[in-house]
Amino acid sequence: MPGEAGHILRLHLFHVLQTLSPHTAELDVGVPARGLHGEAYRGHVFWDELFVLPYLNLHFPEVSRALLHYRHRRLPQACRAAADAGRAGAMYPWQSGSDGREETQTFHLNPRSGRWLPDHSRLQHHVGSAVAYNVWQYCQASGDTDFLHTKGAEMLLQIARFWADTAVLDPDHGRYRIRGVVGPDEYHDGYPGAGRPGIDDNAYTNVTAAWVLDRALELARTLPEPRRRELFERVGLDRAEPELWEDVSRRLLVPFHRGVISQFDGYQELTELDWDGYRARYGDIRRLDRILESEGDSVNRYQVSKQADALMLGYLFAPAELAGLFRRLGYAMDDDIWRATVEYYLPRTSHGSTLSELVHGWVLVRARRAEAWRYCQEALLGDVADVQGGTTGEGIHLGAMGGTLDLVQRGLTGLETREEALWLDPVPLPEPSGLSEYRFAIRYRGHWGVALRVRAGRLWISVPDSEERPIEVRLADRSLTVAPGESHWLPLPSG
């Protein structure tokens, strides 16, 4: 593996650009989960663009913008889906094809048992928050306020509206609850023996919903006139709605147990799995759902996750931002709680999705944990070694491919684009990582070639003299302005 990382990343870049490039930016193209290389999922679009857009945002912002237009063209369909479900706003589909209607299967086959089983994965309404997150991140990276104030705001407001209408105030808790959903961990689609599908108060769903509501409020407050008035008219915003959004965004319930975030309400009451026993018996236990069902059991009974779920929060939000989000919700969240949460879910996750190792790699890199690189390597090997046991032949995994490129670009450099500055917090690279030196140039808020290079414990940043404006850079211990024509070598913290 050492030395191969660069080759694999180039292969990933090839697949990303083959599927999404300036040549597709003029077309009505979404992000198919399996790229252009196979028939798995029938070419459907899920939430996987959440892992691809961050890379595109900093290289081909026009492609990201086109992908967001793709979602915007399907906003009316998402609003119809919400209305059909008796809700306000926009309910984006979990799986969709050309016209944006929900196309998730209602039954799926367990090839191990040969049985067809009900499929409730369409309850992954968190896909809407992924669309909103992508809007926000794209606009932060590109500085495209025109999109943010028009189509972007329209999507954000409609998604926020959906969450505000879906959350129900529970007087016993004094908090809003979102019930009957499925989180990113697709293993848990209901409580054991319950007569209804879905689980309640999925922490990822609720925290991201609160984030969307907060962003929608920020937009509603800061939009310049006459755009504000036009937008409010277009979405038919009732004056009372922002008040409700404020309340919901501060009082959504996030369950905890034993000092960690609970994946969902009641997770801690589920049975612990005998992981060693199952490993000894089956070897590869990534698809525990299939194994357990074939034994006449159900994965819903166990504290077992297919992929990162609560830990997805550490992928979307850097520690300080996550702490702020929890604070706003009236919960304490510090490094100890987060560390304990990571410790709790790591051994309870089977990594039955290529997205899982990618997200764990990210989360552990951010936490500067030694085993981070093991997960990063697994994420890199996803398709070249077909780690999911035969799925690559049905199509590559575009989310994991885009995500690994972004892991190097933003994860290892700690790069964030917010508050009109470029934030950098590089991670010391373990040896041998195959990535002891790497460089790339990004497009950032109208700049064409901000160059970054990581090498021998130092980070180099340069702004070409062809640029017109300086950029603001924030590091953990200092801020600097890098003017056109300037470059700086900055020491990395030792690891």
32 touching ligand IFM, by CB under 6 A:
no
C-beta of 52 vs 231, nearer to ligand IFM: 52
- What's phi and psi for 243, nearest 5 deg? -65, -45
Could you write out the DSSP letters of every residue in 202-223? -HHHHHHHHHHHHHHHHHHHHP
Contacts (CB under 6 A) with ligand IFM, residues 346-375: 353, 355
Q: Does 186 participate in catalysis according to the annotation?
A: yes
- Which position among 399, 403, 414, 426 is part of the footprint of ligand IFM (CB under 6 A)? 399
What backbone phi and psi angles, to 5 degrees, belong to 118? -60, 140
C-beta closer to ligand IFM: residue 397 or 447: 397
Q: What does the alpha-carbon distance between residue 487 and residue 197 come to, in Å, rounded to a whole number? A: 56
Rule CB under 6 A: say whether 47 interacts with ligand IFM: yes
Only one of the segments 42-50, 99-107, 226-234, 284-292 lies at the binding site for ligand IFM (rule: CB under 6 A); that segment is 42-50
Which of 46, 92, 317, 423 is in the footprint of ligand IFM by CB under 6 A? 46
User: Residue 259: left (phi > 0), alpha (psi -120 to 50), or beta?
Assistant: left
Number of chain residues interacting with ligand IFM (CB under 6 A): 9
In whole angstroms, how close is the CB of 240 to ligand IFM at the nearest point?
A: 35
Please list, in sequence order, all residues whose beta carbon lies within 8 angstroms of the beta carbon of residue 53, skipping any fewer than 6 positions away: 31, 64, 67, 134, 137, 138, 402
388 binds ligand IFM (CB under 6 A): no
Q: How far apart are CB 48 and ligand IFM at their closest, in Å?
A: 5
CA distance 245 to 220: 11
Min separation Cβ 359 and ligand IFM, Å: 10
Give strand pairing partners of 252: 176
- For residue 455, the cross-strand partners are 437, 458
Alpha-helix runs per DSSP H in 329-456: 335-345, 354-366, 372-384, 398-406
Strand pairing class (437-444; 421-424): unpaired
Could you tell me the smallest distance in angstroms from the CB atom of residue 103 to ligand IFM?
13
Nearer residue to ligand IFM within complex by CB, 12 or 151: 12
> Judged by CB, which is closer to ligand IFM: 214, or 357?
357
Q: Provide, rounded to whole angstroms, the least separation between the CB of residue 35 and ligand IFM.
A: 10
43/180 with CB nearer ligand IFM: 43
**Residue 185 within binding range of ligand IFM, rule CB under 6 A:** no
Phi/psi region, residue 219 (left: phi>0; alpha: psi -120 to 50; beta: rest), is alpha
Query: Looking at 186, 241, 378, 416, which residue is catalytic?
Result: 186
Q: How far apart are CA 45 and CA 2, in angstroms?
A: 33
Chain contacts with ligand IFM (rule: CB under 6 A)? 33, 46-48, 184, 186, 353, 355, 399
Task: Give the residue numbers annotated as catalytic, written as ranges.
Answer: 186
